[in-house]
Copies of this chain bind each other. A is one copy, B any other.
Amino acid sequence: MLGMDDKIKIFKALGNETRFKIFKSIFTGGYACSVDDAQPKDDLIAQATCVSSIAEQFDFALPTISRHLKEMRDAKIITMTKSKNKIYIEPNIEIMKEIAECFTTLVGDYEKGVVYQFDNTK
């Protein structure tokens, strides 16, 4: 369950143009690294991308993209899985579900007249 600090981190991560576009690109896919066929990681989706594949799509230096990805990972909106010497990046769907639910509940409770604590804490 996401607490207030978790949510603030998530919104902060998405509240920057570069990171938003990176996030969108990770969801949209189409710039996948080739996941090794010989030793596939079952938990990696076909569209999993890596840091340099993402960086190619942007006019920023690779270390800049790397640091943005780190912030997004710290906010738990993406996962980064090391395999060989590449790092495969995927969206964290469970967190997205929690955020979706958070807003849905916020609206629902508000319309029902229920006082809702946005971050589920007292």
The reply to whether the CB of A99 lies closer than 8 angstroms to some CB of chain B is yes
The reply to whether the CB of A43 lies closer than 8 angstroms to some CB of chain B is no
Shortest CB-to-CB span from A108 to chain B, Å, is 9
The reply to whether the CB of A2 lies closer than 8 angstroms to some CB of chain B is no
Give the nearest-CB partner of A18 in chain B: B8
Give chain A's interface residues, CB within 8 Å of chain B: 4, 7-17, 20-21, 23-24, 27-30, 91, 93, 96-97, 99-100, 103-104, 106-107, 110-111, 115-119
Q: Which residues of B contact A93 (CB under 8 A)?
A: 107, 110-111
Would you call A96 and B106 a contact (CB within 8 A)? Answer: yes
Would you call B14 and A110 a contact (CB within 8 A)? Answer: no
